[in-house]
Amino acid sequence: MKYNDAISYLFASQPAFHQVGAAAYKPGFDNINALMSHLGNPHSQLRCVHIAGTNGKGSTSHLIAAALQASGLRVGLFTSPHLVDFRERIRINGQMIGEEYVTRFVEDNRAFLEEIKPSFFETTTAMAFRYFADEKVDIAVIEVGLGGRLDSTNIITPVLSVITNIGFDHTEFLGSTLPQIASEKAGIIKDGVPVVIGETDDETEPVFMAKAVECGSTIYFADQCEYLRRCRKRFAGESQLHGIYQEKNLQTAFVALRALGITNAAIAEGFANVCTMTGLRGRWETLATMPLTICDTGHNSHGTKYVVEQLRSLLQSPKDEDHIPTLHIVFGMVSDKDVEVVREMLHKLKADFPGRVIIYPCQAKTKRAIAAPMSVEEAVRAAQKAATDRDIIFIGGSNYVVGEALPLFN
């Protein structure tokens, strides 16, 4: 079996959420526990940081991993989804898992996978735990796939739990109110394990406090940390991650790292080199300069709110006062997001800057994508053709749109 055959097998034989959505969601632990037992319970050999949240958990995971790496540790990082290459999901010190390991894992465990029929995410989680144990990482940063309480990753007992924020996403699985969603995320809080909450909210704070008391866990609210407020501008200004919304992820990661005993020097180095050290892409990333082309993976109303705020600031404060730029938005979403709310945000932006905002609806190559007149590549090329060198192109709406756009700029 070759690597491409192994990946094709995984995608074809196991339901993958990024391809089919709800049909791939398998809450509970029967399959992952069976996989762990089959693989020798590698998760029990790992020291982990566990990260949940509606938005920002990917960026926060990479920030924490980079600072841990800067402190001299060998760091495993498990995130999802991938943008271009499956192997992005599983890294050690920024290096993607080898094609040979993925192929061998599928070959060695294919019969068992066909017996228990796990989801794509369950298999990927098991592969990550086995790989990190085999490679003897010092610590592994594990991002929750969906929710928390019933997520496959929640079989671990971490040294620290982190919950970035709570917003409306995946409500069909997690609940229709913020307290209900918070309760699902709070499921990663373990007995005696400290937890960092990224953002304080009147509706969700009681949920987290109650769970922390129940578990005897020390709880930190990152946005209430006075020491951080004095350091915040310094770390935000030096980070490779840009965008208004990243300030909250930076503060969450900072408090989490201080709770782990990581020094300010290592944090500063990790934050300043996070993309280089971990391979993170697609977070308010500049892809080209003439015209300025930016992509971002914000994919729900909570994330789009900050993207629109950032785009608005670009239109209000053009770098070249002699040229008023037009904003070309290449945008596509998947059907299980709060599409109408996001559309309203974009149309409001367009109405506020008449004649200066052009939207190019596009459809990514996933069954979940909302139908649109153009493919991602067609929309990108149309925006590039229409834009002047001093205009702005933004590409986003979903991970899949960004994932298809990135290779166009390599």
* Domain residue ranges of the chain, discontinuous segments joined by +: 3-278, 285-409
Yes or no: say if 360 and 329 are a contact pair by the CB < 8 Å rule.
Answer: yes
State which residues of the chain have pLDDT below 70: 14-27, 168-173, 175, 227-237, 299, 320-321
The residues that bridge with 394 in the sheet, in sequence order, are 294, 329
Query: Per the structure block, which two tokens stand in for 341?
Result: 């709310």
What pLDDT is recorded for position 228?
Answer: 63
Distances, alpha carbon 301 to alpha carbons 132, 304, 377, in Å: 34, 5, 24
What pLDDT is recorded for position 43?
Answer: 98
Yes or no: say if 291 and 388 are a contact pair by the CB < 8 Å rule.
Answer: yes
Domain spanning 285-409: CATH superfamily: Mur ligase, C-terminal domain (3.90.190.20)
What pLDDT is recorded for position 237?
Answer: 67
Cα angle 35, 123, 110 (rounded to 5 degrees) comes to: 75
The residues that bridge with 266 in the sheet, in sequence order, are none
Measure the CA–CA gap between 104 and 96, rounded to whole angstroms: 15
* 230-252 tens-digit pLDDT: 666 666 668 898 877 888 899 99
DSSP state of 334: B
Query: Per the structure block, which two tokens stand in for 1?
Result: 């079996």
Cβ neighbours of residue 95 under 8 Å, at least 6 residues apart? none
Compute the chain's Rg from CA coordinates. Answer: 21
Assess if CATH 3.40.1190.10 describes domain 3-278. Answer: yes
Query: Per the structure block, which two tokens stand in for 275?
Result: 């993309």
What pLDDT is recorded for position 19?
Answer: 53
